[in-house]
Structure 1
Amino acid sequence: MVRDASVFAGRPSDLIGRRIAGYRIEREIGRGGMAVVYRARDLRLERTVALKLLAPELARNDTFRLRFTHESRAAAAIDHPHIVPVYEAGETDGVLYIAMRYVEGSDLRHLLDRRGPLDPATALRVAAQIASALDAAHEHGLVHRDVKPGNILVARGTDSDHPEHAYLTDFGLTKKSLSLTGFTSVGQFVGTLDYVAPEQISGRPVDGRCDVYGFACVVYESLAGRPPFRRDDDMALLWAHQYDQPPPLTEFRPGLTPEADAVFARALAKSPGDRHDSCRSFVTALRTATTGTPPAGHPPTATAPRPPHASGSRPEPPPRWAEPVFREPV
């Protein structure tokens, strides 16, 4: 067992083979500013998991620890095919951890770095899956607040019609907007600068439309090969999110229609009230703009109106083929 959180300050290999809360660390698979993700073995159920260990200074923050525990449990309660299932979250020996399903594949960040911009069909397929995941989270009162390519996992799909299966991950640092606002101290910032909504920067209250903005930044980058705003320093980038208009997507993808520019202009509006009201509605508008047709689906069945009959008269009897097979004895 890990008894001293100071091991996190050492080399990544320091934890390989160690046991934390019933999980044996196998290898590192990801690292960020506040956490390290390992492939690990669940020794109780004999399965492979992704084990995320948060920086020890976060565990020492009572406000963060309380928020982390509540929101991890809320995220674990969401059963959605495009959200990475959370198996367990807790604290052991001063270490906060989340155990999640281990997904074979790559995250969107590595995919874009390796392949460059995605073709519109692929970008829309991935976007539609992540949009449904975000909207499901919003329905549970969760706002992700850190939608970025590194938090989107892309695994192999089931067949040629579904070549990718995308997952949204990293709900451990989200904000449960409906009931946990008191757990976020004033001025606390969560997010990644390339994808952060203006209201996050200014410290205003956030809701699902904050994720619409961040998600639109990610989809923009998937198609353009770069995020909507690029600046020389962080302060200039934050200013751009708040006050500058994004360059039209067609500057980087001239094969797309100007209607796509209008869709992104709305999704990246500075005021939340001017954006699409859901991530799915954004993707639907983008698909219509890029392909000229709305997403495929079965239209509702409309019944033909019955001809009216005179008041007091009996309706016409059914045709013979519609009469019952068995009749009551006379």
Structure 2
Amino acid sequence: MTRETSLFSGRPSELLGKQIAGYRIEKEIGRGGMAVVYRARDLRLERTVALKLLAPELARNDTFRRRFTHESRAAAAIDHPHIVPVFEAGETDGVLYIAMRYVVGSDLRHLLDREGPLSPTTTLRIAAQVASALDAAHDHGLVHRDVKPGNILVARGTDSDHPEHAYLTDFGLTKKSLSLTGFTTVGQFVGTLDYVAPEQISGRPVDARCDVYGFACVVYEILAGHPPFRRDDDMALLWAHQYDEAPPLTEARPDLAPQADPVLAKALAKSPDDRYPSCLAFVAALRAATAGGVPAVGHTPTRAGREPGEERPKPPPRWAEPVFTQRT
């Protein structure tokens, strides 16, 4: 086994205490098919970071390496309070790596598994923050392509008006490159089955509206307690995303205003042209629907705090305590 393979596929304990590109590995915090994420210590600046190591075979593809450099620079250039900052990206010993801010908190997947569906007020607070992050990325020409609860981190907020602080992480630094360099094949796509847009499944070109769909699947799950489509096998799930209508949200949450159903239906439209033009536009429509009104023309939420007339948030719940697991 070569060194570059061991960096990625070795047992977690083998890397503990090792130094990679100026970072000392402390603990594995996430693992996926194409990357492993570690909590690490930046020895130059004496700070804790999340260090993501990509699979060695990716570094051997010249086209991928060029796109990785371009996209990591684009992601690092985004300065947004709800996007996990990228500190550095590079290559060492044949392995590509990305160093990001280490966020102490819980990811949304862990939160939903523990708490179940969230209240509309909490949902809208978190959704507004994630939506602003996605729209900011789109303004920089980046499409996430894999919006899911595991890629949304929820940390303790600053005060009772802002009990949570949400971060969007794991941008498509590799996902766009994978789809353009032969690492995906016919019938495969980059994304997570419960939240993948129809155009991703069929191999059509994707843009920001792909993220509107995935984000809408996440918001549906936050409120309903499950994703919009539940099927017995993967092929049936892929078919549902492409051809089936999602059950009305109010079937799972009869306490919500019926106006919420057409809002989710529009965000989950099969054709990108029929969806909301931005994630914030979707959140604005959902906020108005849950309040029993209609959104003002051109209005989108710009912050995660209280809107006029909105109930005052409760103190931070127990799930806001640091129970963080970084997903790949």
- In the TM superposition, residue 61 of structure 1 has moved relative to its aligned partner by 3.0
Aligned to 1:145: 145
- The answer to whether 1:88 aligns with 2:84 is no
Q: How does 1:260-299 map to 2 (within 5 A)?
A: 260-292=260-292
8 Å CA contact 1:66–1:183 kept in 2: the answer is: no
- In the TM superposition, residue 248 of structure 1 has moved relative to its aligned partner by 0.8
Distance in 2 (alpha carbons) for counterparts of 1:245 and 1:285:
20
- In the TM superposition, residue 65 of structure 1 has moved relative to its aligned partner by 2.6
Opposite residue 70 of structure 1, the aligned amino acid is H
Give SS of 2:87's match. Answer: strand
8 Å CA contact 2:82–2:167 kept in 1: the answer is: yes
- The answer to whether 1:208 aligns with 2:208 is yes
Aligned to 2:316: none
Aligned to 1:51: 51
- In the TM superposition, residue 210 of structure 1 has moved relative to its aligned partner by 0.4
Q: How does 1:1-330 map to 2 (within 5 A)?
A: 3-171=3-171, 172-175=173-176, 187=186, 189-292=189-292
Aligned to 1:302: none
Distance in 2 (alpha carbons) for counterparts of 1:181 and 1:7:
24
- In the TM superposition, residue 28 of structure 1 has moved relative to its aligned partner by 1.1
Aligned to 1:305: none
Give SS of 1:217's match. Answer: helix
Distance in 1 (alpha carbons) for counterparts of 2:12 and 2:91:
20
Give SS of 1:156's match. Answer: strand
8 Å CA contact 1:87–1:99 kept in 2: the answer is: yes
Distance in 2 (alpha carbons) for counterparts of 1:75 and 1:287:
29
Q: Which has the higher contact order (CA 8 A, sep 6+)?
A: 2
Distance in 2 (alpha carbons) for counterparts of 1:227 and 1:94:
38
Give SS of 1:4's match. Answer: helix
Distance in 2 (alpha carbons) for counterparts of 1:148 and 1:67:
23
Distance verdict in 2 for CA 1:8–1:174, change over 3 Å: closer
Opposite residue 212 of structure 1, the aligned amino acid is V
8 Å CA contact 2:259–2:292 kept in 1: the answer is: no
Query: What do the CA deviations read for 1:175-200 (whole angstroms, capped 9, x no partner)?
Result: 39xxx996677746211111000001
8 Å CA contact 1:173–1:190 kept in 2: the answer is: no
Aligned to 2:312: none
Distance in 1 (alpha carbons) for counterparts of 2:206 and 2:276:
15
Q: Specify the structure having the higher radius of gyration (Cα).
A: 1
- In the TM superposition, residue 124 of structure 1 has moved relative to its aligned partner by 0.8
8 Å CA contact 2:152–2:167 kept in 1: the answer is: yes
Unaligned runs of 5+ in 2: 296-300, 309-328
8 Å CA contact 1:63–1:183 kept in 2: the answer is: yes
Query: What do the CA deviations read for 1:48-67 (whole angstroms, capped 9, x no partner)?
Result: 10101112222233333322
Unaligned runs of 5+ in 1: 299-330
Distance in 2 (alpha carbons) for counterparts of 1:7 and 1:136:
33
Opposite residue 129 of structure 2, the aligned amino acid is Q
8 Å CA contact 2:179–2:190 kept in 1: the answer is: no
Distance in 2 (alpha carbons) for counterparts of 1:138 and 1:50:
24
State the identity %. Answer: 81
Distance in 2 (alpha carbons) for counterparts of 1:175 and 1:291:
38
- In the TM superposition, residue 297 of structure 1 has moved relative to its aligned partner by 6.1
- In the TM superposition, residue 14 of structure 1 has moved relative to its aligned partner by 1.3
Query: What do the CA deviations read for 1:98-138 (whole angstroms, capped 9, x no partner)?
Result: 00011000110111111111111111100000000000011
Distance in 1 (alpha carbons) for counterparts of 2:197 and 2:4:
37
Query: What do the CA deviations read for 1:24-73 (whole angstroms, capped 9, x no partner)?
Result: 00011112222111110001111110101112222233333322221111
Kindly tell me the number of residue pairs found equivalent between the two proteins.
294
TM-score by length of 2: 0.85
Opposite residue 175 of structure 1, the aligned amino acid is K
8 Å CA contact 2:8–2:53 kept in 1: the answer is: no
Give SS of 2:259's match. Answer: helix
Distance in 1 (alpha carbons) for counterparts of 2:259 and 2:279:
18
Give SS of 2:227's match. Answer: coil
Opposite residue 113 of structure 2, the aligned amino acid is D
Aligned to 1:317: none
Give SS of 1:17's match. Answer: coil
Distance in 2 (alpha carbons) for counterparts of 1:70 and 1:189:
21
- In the TM superposition, residue 291 of structure 1 has moved relative to its aligned partner by 1.9
Aligned to 2:317: none
Opposite residue 219 of structure 2, the aligned amino acid is V
Distance in 1 (alpha carbons) for counterparts of 2:275 and 2:49:
37
Distance in 1 (alpha carbons) for counterparts of 2:228 and 2:275:
16
8 Å CA contact 1:144–1:173 kept in 2: the answer is: no
8 Å CA contact 1:118–1:223 kept in 2: the answer is: yes
Distance in 1 (alpha carbons) for counterparts of 2:119 and 2:27:
33
